[in-house]
Chain A
Amino acid sequence: MSTIAIPQAGVHAVHRDERSFIRKYIFSTDHKIIGIQFLLMSLLFLLVGGLLALTMRWQLAWPGRPIPGGGILPDTMAPDGIILPEFYNSLVTMHGTFMIFFAIMPLLVGVFANYLIPLQIGAPDMAFPRLNMMSFWTSVPAGILMLASFFVEGGAAAAGWTSYAPLSAVPEYSGVSTGQQLWCLSLIILGFSSLMGAVNYITTVINMRAPGMTWFRLPLPVWALFITAILVLLAIPILTGALILLYFDQVLGTGFYLPERGGQPLLWQHLFWFFGHPEVYILILPAMGMASEIIANGARKPIFGYHAMVIAICAIAFLGWIVWGHHMFQSGMNPMLGSTFMFTTMIIAVPSAIKTFNWLATLWKGDIHFTVPMLHALAFVAMFVIGGLSGVFMASTAVDIYIHDTYFIVAHIHYVLFGGSLFAIFGAITYWFPKMFGRMMHVGLGKVHFFLTFIFYNLTFFPMHQLGLGGMMRRLYDPTQYAHLQPLQELNQFVTINALLLGAVQLLFVANFIWSMFRGKRAEMNPWRANSLEWSVPSPPPHGNFAVTPIVYRGPYEYSSPESDEDYLPQDRPPAARPVPAPDLVPAH
Chain B
Amino acid sequence: MNWSLPENVSTFGAQVDSIYYLILGITAVIFFAVEALLVYFLVRYRHREGRKAAYIHGNTRAEVIWTLVPFLIILFIAFRSRTVWLEVKDPERMPPGALELRVAAKQFEWNVTYPGPDERLGTADDFVRRGQLRIPVNRPVRVTLASEDVIHSFFLPEFRVKQDAVPGMEIPVWFQATRTGEFTLGCAELCGLGHYRMRGTVTVQTAEEFAAWQREQSRAGLAAAN
Residues in chain A near residue B31, CB distance under 8 A: 385-386, 389
Residues in chain A near residue B38, CB distance under 8 A: 360, 363, 378, 381-382
A266 at interface by CB-CB < 8 Å: yes
* Cross-chain contact A473 with B75 (CB below 8 angstroms): no
User: What is the bound-complex CA distance between A469 and B4, given in angstroms?
Assistant: 7
Residues in chain B near residue A396, CB distance under 8 A: 19, 23, 77-78, 81
User: What is the bound-complex CA distance between A338 and B23, given in angstroms?
Assistant: 18
* Cross-chain contact A473 with B188 (CB below 8 angstroms): yes
Interface centre among A159, A343, A357 (most CB of B within 10 A): A357
* Cross-chain contact A339 with B86 (CB below 8 angstroms): yes
Per-position contact with A for B208-222: 1 when CB-CB < 8 Å, else 0? 000000000000000
B120 at interface by CB-CB < 8 Å: no
* Cross-chain contact B166 with A174 (CB below 8 angstroms): no
* Cross-chain contact B55 with A584 (CB below 8 angstroms): yes
Count the A-B residue pairs with Cβ separation under 8 angstroms: how many?
300
A65 at interface by CB-CB < 8 Å: no
Residues in chain A near residue B160, CB distance under 8 A: 401-402
* Cross-chain contact B52 with A300 (CB below 8 angstroms): yes
* Cross-chain contact B190 with A160 (CB below 8 angstroms): yes
Q: Please tell me which one of the listed residues A350, A361, A381, A392 contacts residue B77 in the complex, with CB atoms under 8 A apart.
A: A392
B77 to chain A, nearest CB (A): 6
Give the total of B residues in contact with A, Cβ under 8 Å: 87
CB-nearest residue of chain B to A175? B193
* Cross-chain contact B56 with A392 (CB below 8 angstroms): no
Interface centre among B34, B153, B197 (most CB of A within 10 A): B34
Per-position contact with A for B29-68: 1 when CB-CB < 8 Å, else 0? 0110011011001100111100111111111001100110
Per-position contact with B for A343-382: 1 when CB-CB < 8 Å, else 0? 1001101100110111011011111111000000010011
A306 at interface by CB-CB < 8 Å: yes
* Cross-chain contact B151 with A477 (CB below 8 angstroms): no
* Cross-chain contact B164 with A331 (CB below 8 angstroms): yes
Residues in chain B near residue A260, CB distance under 8 A: 167-168
CB-nearest residue of chain A to B39? A382
User: What is the bound-complex CA distance between A475 and B155, given in angstroms?
Assistant: 14
Per-position contact with A for B64-94: 1 when CB-CB < 8 Å, else 0? 0011001100110110111011101111000
User: What is the bound-complex CA distance between A367 and B53, given in angstroms?
Assistant: 5
B53 to chain A, nearest CB (A): 4
CB-nearest residue of chain B to A166? B150
CB-nearest residue of chain A to B182? A483
A172 to chain B, nearest CB (A): 9
A550 to chain B, nearest CB (A): 23
* Cross-chain contact A367 with B52 (CB below 8 angstroms): yes
* Cross-chain contact A365 with B20 (CB below 8 angstroms): no
User: What is the bound-complex CA distance between A477 and B199, given in angstroms?
Assistant: 13
Q: Knowing A368-B47, A401-B160, A481-B196 touch, does A302 contact B19 (C-beta < 8 A)?
A: no
A153 at interface by CB-CB < 8 Å: no
CB-nearest residue of chain B to A476? B196
Q: Please tell me which one of the listed residues A353, A479, A560 contacts residue B66 in the complex, with CB atoms under 8 A apart.
A: A353
